């Protein structure tokens, strides 16, 4: 069939011999890509009378949307919570390194820090732009996640107590003064039981910023009120919050609450590393609310490096095997898990389908961020950010905008 370039002169690439995750199922069909977008082959054949310029044999790989990590504190020696004049180079390094783990979009996360650190993180230097009503950026990041400092002292976890703050009479102005700017901020984690938190949640929501509940001693009614005012996410479920109790399940109770506004879905992050959450708790959460589960790494600067001492913002942490602790304590402080590892552990621990495991790291975070029309799916006209994986869910290759950006070499490295 002759190629018709009346629509575009850009080459058309056809990925063959693959199983595509589309409409919640692995489907045996080809993937067509042009100009960084996924094509509808019927329109290509019948409207354009077009055909492929390049054919690539995927050798029976699974093709899935690229993973999206909405909570990552750093990695490979980079700590996003350390003040630096060269913030962009750290973002660029991490964005390149995590390609081998299947992550094509991420939210660099800053833990509780002094105001000077937030003010020095110049997000606008990262060429942030608005696309389809959602914050997206040229260097495959999805906007910043500010975790704290408006959190509970009792559930501070690895966050430095001397940097914690409360909302005073100004409330939202207090938040602006602390952060300096909300440019390209996509998620803010706060404790909903704090006074005046409701008005802050409403103001953030008006600006298209996702409010997440975490590091909190909130009871269920306080959590429900926060959701009614616009909160849509829970930061690392079970960790740094009141434990489930049958008379008041706290924030965990949002997974089965009957007081969620109609049409609203509450999402929740889980660190599926086999350490932060017992597999039984992971199974309980997934079975209670499967469509809300979002896999996150909560990775720290030590991810990808040898055990030893590393930073997490204002704190020194120690890596002991797969455990990360505040130095000199047994307080967990992030993880060194990679996203592909979390996906495999989630599937093994819950016994869920391959499709479900993959969507927890792609579709669900995209829905949380409101970018599911561009990211997190392989629907026609969406961004061609995708992975090739084997049946064990190990990443073989990573593509962004239809371009190969990482491939496993012949030695398996």
Please tell me the distance from the alpha carbon of residue 60 to that of residue 214, in angstroms, as a whole number.
41
Strands 134-137 and 386-389 come out as unpaired
Strands 323-326 and 67-72 come out as unpaired
Residues 240 and 155: beta-carbon distance below 8 Å: yes
User: Where does residue 301 fall: left (phi above 0), alpha (psi -120 to 50 degrees), or beta otherwise?
Assistant: alpha
Q: 10 Å Cβ neighbour count for 328?
A: 8
**246 labelled as ligand-binding?**
no
What's the N-to-C CA distance of the chain in angstroms?
39
**240 labelled as ligand-binding?**
yes
**332 labelled as ligand-binding?**
yes
**221 labelled as ligand-binding?**
no
**276 labelled as ligand-binding?**
yes
Cα dihedral 386, 390, 404, 400 in deg (nearest 10)? 20
Nearest to 106 by CA among 64, 147, 143: 143
**264 labelled as ligand-binding?**
no
**119 labelled as ligand-binding?**
no
**334 labelled as ligand-binding?**
yes
Is residue 174 annotated as part of the catalytic site, yes or no?
no
**335 labelled as ligand-binding?**
no
Segment (H or E) for 60: strand 54-65
**147 labelled as ligand-binding?**
yes
Question: Is residue 85 classed exposed, middle or buried when 0-12, 13-18 and 19+ CB atoms within 10 A define those classes?
Answer: exposed
Cα atoms in the 13 Å half-sphere on the side-chain side of 186: 29
Please tell me the distance from the alpha carbon of residue 118 to that of residue 81, in angstroms, as a whole number.
8
**81 labelled as ligand-binding?**
no
Please tell me the distance from the alpha carbon of residue 158 to that of residue 164, in angstroms, as a whole number.
12
Which one of the listed residues 69, 79, 273, 298 is annotated catalytic? 298
Q: What is the DSSP letter of 47?
A: I
What amino acid positions are annotated as catalytic residues? Answer: 298
List binding-site positions.
147, 158, 215, 236, 239-240, 247, 276, 332-334
List binding-site positions for substrate.
158, 239-240, 247, 276, 332-334
List binding-site positions for Zn(2+).
147, 215, 236
């Amino acid at each position: 069939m002759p190629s018709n370039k009346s629509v575009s002169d850009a080459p058309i690439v056809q990925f063959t011999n693959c199983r595509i995750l589309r409409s919640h199922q692995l489907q045996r069909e080809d993937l067509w890509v042009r100009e960084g977008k996924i094509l509808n082959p019927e329109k290509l054949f019948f409207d354009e009378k077009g055909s492929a310029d390049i054919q690539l044999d995927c050798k029976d790989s699974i093709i899935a949307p690229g993973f999206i990590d909405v909570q990552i504190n750093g990695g490979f020696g980079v700590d996003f919570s350390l003040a630096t004049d060269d913030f962009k180079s750290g973002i660029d390094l991490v964005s390149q390194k995590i390609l081998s783990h299947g992550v094509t979009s991420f939210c660099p996360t800053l833990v509780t820090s002094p105001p000077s650190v937030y003010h020095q993180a110049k997000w606008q230097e990262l060429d942030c732009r608005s696309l389809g009503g959602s914050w997206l950026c040229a260097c495959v990041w999805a906007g910043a996640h500010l975790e704290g400092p408006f959190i509970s002292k009792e559930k501070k976890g690895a966050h430095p107590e001397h940097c914690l703050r409360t909302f005073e009479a100004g409330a939202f102005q207090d938040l602006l003064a602390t952060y300096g700017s909300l440019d390209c901020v996509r998620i803010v984690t706060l404790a909903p039981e704090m006074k005046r938190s409701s008005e802050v949640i409403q103001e953030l929501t008006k600006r298209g910023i996702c409010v997440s509940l975490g590091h909190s001693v909130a009871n269920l009614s306080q959590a429900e009120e926060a959701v009614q005012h616009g909160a849509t996410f829970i930061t690392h479920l079970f960790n740094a919050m009141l434990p489930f109790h049958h008379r008041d399940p706290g924030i965990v109770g949002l997974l089965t609450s009957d007081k969620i506004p109609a049409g609203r879905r509450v999402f929740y992050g889980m660190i599926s590393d086999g350490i932060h959450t017992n597999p039984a708790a992971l199974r309980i959460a997934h079975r209670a609310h499967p469509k809300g589960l979002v896999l996150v790494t909560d990775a720290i600067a030590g991810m990808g490096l040898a055990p030893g001492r590393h930073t997490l913002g204002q704190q020194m942490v120690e890596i002991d095997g797969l455990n990360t602790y505040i130095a000199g304590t047994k307080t967990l402080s992030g993880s060194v898990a990679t996203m592909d590892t979390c996906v495999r552990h989630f599937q093994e621990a819950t016994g869920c389908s391959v499709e479900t495991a993959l969507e927890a790291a792609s579709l669900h975070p995209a829905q949380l961020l409101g970018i599911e029309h561009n990211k997190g799916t392989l629907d026609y006209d969406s961004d061609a950010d995708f992975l090739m994986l084997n049946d064990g869910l190990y990443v073989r290759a990573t593509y962004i905008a239809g371009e190969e950006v990482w491939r496993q070499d012949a030695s398996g490295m």
